[in-house]
Structure 1
Amino acid sequence: MIVCVCRRVNDKAIAQAARCGASFDDIQIDMGVATQCGQCESSARAVWMQCRPSQPTAHLQLQTEAPAPA
């Protein structure tokens, strides 16, 4: 879905950049999101917040086998 009409930036591009660790400022500089009319800023920030690496994710703990009794 197109998030920024002025710069033709879609949600997938924003999500990919966010997952790679880009800050919202980086996305604005690199893609021009929310730098022209500004109408997309809230939507773009919402996509960025959902996809940034600092968001909590499910933590899977590896289970190791107990040593065999001697």
Structure 2
Amino acid sequence: MPMLLEEDFEWGTATIRQRLLVRLDVVIQVTRESGHLEALGDQAEAMARTLHDRWDPIVAPLPLYPAFQPA
């Protein structure tokens, strides 16, 4: 994780930063919807907020998987 704060890396169709932000958003959503592990969701939200603030200008939203892109 420390090197991810300084530099992003391509991994298939997305970057590591894009994947991390999406996964944190999923944790936040699942913990809210389920009503379980709320503290974990709160931590994920705090981490996501910090990373979004740091990376927003340079990390594009996760692209649509190629199989689901319009022809």
Please identify the structure whose Cα radius of gyration is greater.
1
What TM-score does the superposition give when structure 1 sets the normalisation length?
0.31
What TM-score does the superposition give when structure 2 sets the normalisation length?
0.31
